[in-house]
Chain A
Amino acid sequence: MNKRPWYLRMLLSAGPMVGALATAIGLWYAVSYLVLSDDRRFMLPPPHQVIRTSLLDPVHLQPMLDALALSVRVAVVGLVIAVVLGVTQAVVMVQTTWLERALYPYAVILQTVPILALVPLLGIWFGYGFSSRVVVCVIISLFPMISNTLFGLQSPTAAAHDLFTLNKATRWQRLVKLQLPAAVPAIFGGLRISAGLSVIGAIVGDTFFRQGLVGIGGLLDIYTARLQTEDLFTAIGLASVFGVAFFTVFATLDRIIVGRWYGVVRR
């Protein structure tokens, strides 16, 4: 296997993915030209038309990039807040069982409340611009951080806790030398999930809160209203690339850091 040249190995591993893409593009063309009549082709414009009239036209592309930059900011700020809040809440909950019993149900409830129901309230409290978008983002991405961190903090064995007890460890030593280090892999696992959710949160927040600069979610709405389907496809594509990129960053970070942490690269 290793004797094959690198380009051949890359082709073999990327082959199925490229093949699937080619098939999808083929299907797309087929539907555009064979299924849809001329007057309905706007519903699924062929790929080359999307690329020519939207992706390669700076007049169309520039507003999308601006909107995307704004959404990235919302997602990053939202994720940072979610991580800080989530880890903090888990650390507080792990201190005593009654704090966990008191706080955990509300964390679950926060996750299950439909964002749509909170929209009017958030609007009144935080306005209809950037802040509210960030809040939506935080609400959506908070729970995995809480639950994963808590799981990680609770992962040390009873014997490990006994070891700390026997050496008269303080609560603080137990937290920073045992529980938090043990939680690192779980925290990064949570970060991966939350990163993906924060992208969704940023786009959802965009569509609800439209004051000020428009984000990528807002643009999707505008393009739909104006039937600019070429632009709609490009915007969807950009939003997806954003999501994948965000996820990849944290997945890679997870692999590198957690791998180092235990002295070997996992998987």
Chain B
Amino acid sequence: MDKSILYIDDDRMSRQVIGGFLQELGYSVVLAESGAKGLQCFHDTTPDVLLLDLRMPGMDGFEVLKQIRRLDSEIPILVISGIGEMEDVIHALRLGATNYLIKSLDDLKVLEKAMKIAFYNLQLAREKKHYEEQLALTLKEKERYQKQLESVFNSIPDGLITIDAQNIVLDFNKAMPIVCPFGRKLEVNQDLSHLDAELGKGCCFEFLKMTRKENRQILNRRVECPYSGMRPKVLLVTSTPLLNSRQELIGATMILKDVTREQELEEQIQNRRKFRNIIGKSHKMQRVYTLIRQLSNVDSTVLILGESGTGKENVMDALHHTGIRAEGPLCKVNCSALSEDLLDSELFGHVKGAFTGAHRDKIGRFEAAHKGTIFLDEVGEISQRIQLKLLRVLESKSFEKVGSSQTITVDCRIISATNVDLAQKVAQGVFREDLYYRLKVLPISLPPLRERKEDIPLLIDYFCSHFSREFQKEIFGVSEAVLNIFMRYEWPGNIRELKHTIEHGCLLSPGSLINIDHLPLEMIDFSSSQGLSIKSKSPRDLTREHIEQALAQSEGNKSKAAQILGCHRKTLYRKIEQFKLPV
């Protein structure tokens, strides 16, 4: 680095000798013979160090010193004075001179040292400035990172807290008091040990303390927060030890994720009450829903088994509409409704002239179901000949139209359903065993309603709403007595029978409730044969509805009504009066 000095002195000999001396020492020296020229040189050359004579004609050294200090507070300025001019020196030092020299032979060595010190200080000042700038940049960068980190820290919806090895809270994010009810009591620099009495068993802070104490991570522990009050809060807790570069434990951090909603959704899914048009929350129906979800996106043949009225078509519908072929056609064929020849033609189509009356070509249901689904209902009823043709379709997806020799290949999913025991039919030799096994690759068995009676209230609600809309009535449900009957009834016709029963009740009920007398006759007979459920009620538990039902059943005969209710006649009169019932 070229070390430059500006030397301002009006004395020629001093400039030559001292300037020359400094050049001999290796400095780059610019000489100026007056204060004004010195200032100009200062602007033009920006020297590292200034050597300045004080007594000069015109602009003296003091004025130069003042002006330069206004421009540059850092540059080392060494002033030179004559012997016996200490007052000048003191004045110059007050104006900002860095050092002073006496113009003498002795001080040439001093000048050499003073210059070394000036440049050393200059280098230190420059390095200091450089490091200060670096430090400022680093601090700025650190601040930026810190803000970024804080922003991330606070934007995370999960609660985050860190503690040190002494259990002191170092920091926690904004979500912490929201996620954790106890978080509202937290403060930075707080000693968590002081809160032990408040932090009860089962609290997530136990995990944090455990992690700090045992230096081990605790991952995804599900905790029902004991402080969440009326609405239980479920938190997923992960606590991790904080280690320094030497792997020593310096604290712990904990993440609290509020999974209450997820938990609720999981429970909702587990207790799903409905899947498309299939109603039911029973365990058996949950299994059916799971099967439907699993089978909807595969192409394998599905056989739906179940008694008549159990909702086989609804299952087929769900399989098709939730699956990969949902955009394709859905063709339904009731195999038991057609004669063998008609079914043959219906399924596979025919060509013009294939048989009497075949006036034109007809596309069969298999061809129509290309890229979609074909549903073969009552598949157990088809003849041996159709069974054989169906087997071929199942194996090769190909067939010929009736009266044609041209083979047609289709891409469709086959879903079949039956309410008969196909295995028994196979045993009897009326149903092909090979076809049976081809059809039942993936069977879904629908439980009869009698095996899932817990779903009856849901089905009642569903059908009441359905028929209320259809009949433009406001039927809210069934009476307790009716529900009692429904729960005892075996429902041989399954959901279809229940649906018709509700439809019947909705039509007959003048009010908003379906009572016993709005039920079909066979249901009333059943209730009579079983004895009314309300009979078991104690007089205290008899409701207005019970009394009304009993009176309706006994056609107003109070003795009979009392008999039905299993209470004394006087009790019945008292209840009629109590409920202000019209007699």
Q: Do A and B associate with each other?
A: no
The chain B residues found within 8 Å of chain A, CB to CB, are none
